Amino acid sequence: MSTSDESTSGADDAYIPRLADAPVGSVLATVAAILSSIGTAWIGALMLLIVADVVGRNFLDAPITGVAEIAARSVVAIVFLRVAAAILQRRLTRADFLLRRLERASPRALCLVEALFALAGAVVFALIVWASWPKLASAWATAEFFGVQGVFTIPTWPFRLITVAGAALASLCALYVAQDELRKLGARE
């Protein structure tokens, strides 16, 4: 697992360029970092929720209703909150053995390939946005919820919003990465 297995530390926020150097990149990266932090905190909250349910159910005869459903929706939310930052940090899993050879042979060709790949990512996430926003609109309009009337209900629109907004930001970030690669390509001439 190339991404997951890297040991990371320290320079986690290094992907945020300075506002003066790259205003668009800086704004995108800041928004991505904020969403990503929410996603990070959400993982902790999920752990606490599950522990609370286990304790409540076994020791207090008070299970928490809807934990399974909430946890299920949380998983998706965490992904879309964090994906834009992962794109900027270039942390999406890939097989890079050919790319590393290409880099040695021709760094400029690598920039071009990276730009194309990032564009592919921008398109893929744009497709998700295009596919998903109508359901966001209708979830809002019909007050769609999950859960059970009279037991617990949670509106779905915030979760659908996270999917749409997260994918939109991811698409923009991928575009920015493509532009950044092309800029490097130009700079190497």
Partner 1 sequence: AQERITVNIGSSHPENNIWVYAMKNTFQPEVNRILGAAGAYEIAWVESYGGTLYKFTDTREAVMDGIVDVGMVGTVWEGANMPLQNVTYFTPFATEDHRMIIEIFDDLSENLPELKDSWAQNGMVHLSSLITDSYDIYATFPVETLADLQNRKLNAPGTSANWLRETGATPVDGALTTYYTNIQTGVTEGTLSFASGILPTRVYEVAPELTRVGIGSMYFGGIAANKDFFDGLPGPVQEAFREAAAATSVAHGDYVADLAARALDEMQAAGLTIHELPEEEKAAWVNGLPNIIEPWLEQTGESGRVVLKAYFDALRERGATPLRNWDEGL
Partner 2 sequence: MTTLAIGFLLIGLLVALVLLGLQIAYALLAVAFAGIWIIRDNLGLAFRMLELTAYSGIADYLFATIPLFVLMGLLVSVSNVGRDTFEVAEVLLRRLVGGLGVATVAANTVFAAVTGVSIASAAVFTRVAVPEMTRHGYRASFAAGTVAGSSVLGMLIPPSLLLIIYGVLAEVSIGGMFIAGIIPGLMLAGGFVVLLILTAAVFPRFVMSDPAGSRERRLDTGGPSMTVGTMIAKLTPIVALVVLVLGGLYTGYFTPTEAGGVGAFGALVVAIARRSLDRHKLWQVMKQTGVISVSILLLLIAASFYSRMLSIAGLPDAIADLVTRSGFGPYGFLFLYAAIILLMGMILDSTSILLIMVPIAAPIATSMGFDLSHFGIVTVIAVEIGLLTPPFGISVFTVHSTLADPDVTIEQVFSATLPFVGVMLLVLVLVALFPVTATLFL
Q: Which of the ranges 18-26, 127-135, 147-155, 181-189 carries the binding residues for partner 2, by CB under 8 A? A: 127-135
Distance CA 3, CA 5 (A): 5
- Residue 81 CB, shortest distance to partner 1, in Å, is 21
CA distance 33 to 36: 5
Figure out which of the listed residues 142, 158, 186, 188 binds partner 1, where binding follows CB under 8 A: 142
Q: Does 53 bind partner 2 (CB under 8 A)?
A: yes
Instruction: Please tell me whether residue 52 binds partner 1 under the rule CB under 8 A.
Output: no
- Residue 129 is encoded by which pair of tokens? 């946005």
> Could you give the CA distance from residue 46 to residue 185 in angstroms, rounded to a whole number?
43
Could you say whether residue 141 binds partner 1 (CB under 8 A)? no
| 63 near partner 1, judged by CB under 8 A | yes
According to DSSP, the residues that pair with 154 across neighbouring strands are: 146
* End-to-end Cα spacing for the chain: 35
CA distance 176 to 168: 12
In the complex, the residues that contact partner 2 under the rule CB under 8 A are 1-9, 12, 36, 39-41, 43-44, 46-51, 53-54, 68-69, 71-76, 78-79, 82-83, 86, 89, 91-99, 113, 117, 120-121, 123-124, 127-128, 130-132, 135, 159-160, 163, 167
